[in-house]
Amino acid sequence: MSSHALLLVNRHARQGQKRYEEAINCLHQLGLKIITESTENPTQLGELIRHYQQEINLVIVGGGDGTLNAAVEAIVDTQLTLGILPLGTANDLARTLGIPNSIPQACEIIANGKLRRIDLGSVNGKYFFNVASLGLSVNITQQLTKEIKQRWGILAYAAIAFQVIWKSRPFSAEIQIHGESTLVKTVQIAVGNGRYYGGGMAIVHDAAIDDQRLDLYSLEIDHWWQIIPLLPAMREGKHINWPNVRALQGQEITVYTRKPHSINTDGEITTHTPATFRVIPQAITVLVPA
């Protein structure tokens, strides 16, 4: 891989500040010429990528899924190769791509890995790597503060989820796919592009980030306690086989609700219903294990 790279680190990521120097030293030892930039505001990542695009052909993003999502639009526009340093709490995109959380191992993949074209999801024009969802996950995101993630790490997802689940109430939605319309009463609709989300849960057991499809599930339970037996199956994406889970697949899906519902894309609330979800096949190039 060419050695001209821009390294962007979100210092608010769970390990961002602590692992920053280690990452720089490791990449230098592997022979990469690095331009380093760090920011406390992920919304500035796209501006930095566009500023340096003529000097580089590789963007290395250090952070979690939210940081990667903040950079994705500029990466699509510039078509620069993406290298990933998993420095966040969940690191679901890295998990999907087989990139370990170890900084030396992740740096080795950036220096000597192989190129892989991957799909992106899009909802109302907003890109996402992993999943876009409405319902329970939005409530979890709203309560999952940076302080809680910094303190509890991956356990924060489970702790907040249990607090949210027992307060959950079903809502009505209309799902349109393949020209057919389905009315549902649900507590969550999730539309996945990749495999993992929410700290290691699988959207569907056979989902892949380059399968050129979106995978939707709708969690249609009446009482909060009905989700408890589902949780182990959700780790492997096998919850879609349960009778109170609806599973659909397609390249374009539209969801309507009676009143606007917020939508969470890769851990950030970015848009709302009505929402049209699309898959963008082979949208960007990422470095993955050889």
Comparing CA positions, the residue from 52, 40, 46 lying closest to residue 5 is 52
Helical spans, DSSP H, in the chain: 16-29, 45-52, 65-78, 92-97, 103-112, 136-143, 146-152, 155-165, 231-236
β-pair type (4-10, 58-63): parallel
Residue 188 CA to chain centroid, in angstroms?
Answer: 17
What is the homologous superfamily of the domain 2-111 according to CATH?
A: Probable inorganic polyphosphate/atp-NAD kinase; domain 1 (3.40.50.10330)
pLDDT (tens digit, 9 = 90+) per residue, 68-80?
999 999 999 999 9
Q: Residue 1 — pLDDT band, cuts 50, 70, 90? A: very low
- What distance in Å separates the CA atoms of residue 90 and residue 17, rounded to the nearest whole number? 17
List, for residues 30-54, the tens digit of each pLDDT value: 999 999 987 777 889 999 999 999 9
User: Taking a C-beta distance cutoff of 8 angstroms, is the pair 260, 273 a contact?
Assistant: yes
Provide the 3-class DSSP secondary structure of residue 211: coil
Segment 151-187, tens digit of pLDDT? 655 555 565 566 666 567 889 999 999 999 999 999 9
Residue 141 reports pLDDT greater than 70: no
The residue ranking higher by pLDDT, 52 or 136, is 52
Q: Which fold has domain 125-279?
A: Tumour Suppressor Smad4 (2.60.200)
Split at pLDDT 50, 70, 90, the class of 289 is: very high
Tell the burial category of 179 from Cβ atoms under 10 Å away from its Cβ (0-12, 13-18, 19+): exposed
CA distance 263 to 216: 14
pLDDT above 90 (res 7): yes
| Chain region(s) in the chain for CATH 3.40.50.10330 | 2-111
Question: What's the mean pLDDT when you consider all of the chain?
Answer: 88
Q: How many CA atoms lie within 13 A of 74 on its CB side?
A: 25
pLDDT tens digits, 75-105:
999 999 999 999 888 899 999 999 999 999 9
> Are the CB atoms for 30 and 60 separated by under 8 Å?
no
What DSSP string describes 246-281? EEEEESEEEEEESS--EEEETTEEEEESSEEEEEEE
274 upstream amide cis, omega within 30 of 0 = yes
Query: In the 3-class helix/strand/coil scheme, how is 113-161 assigned residue by residue?
Result: CEEEEEEEEEECCEEECCEEEEEHHHHHHHHCCHHHHHHHCCHHHHHHH
Residue with the bigger pLDDT between 223 and 286: it is 286
pLDDT at 122: 98
Name the pairing type of β-strands 131-135 and 180-186.
unpaired
Domain(s) labelled CATH 2.60.200.40 in the chain stretch across 125-279
pLDDT at 214 over 80: yes
Q: Which residue shows structure tokens 């999952």?
A: 144
Q: Is the pLDDT of residue 14 over 70?
A: no
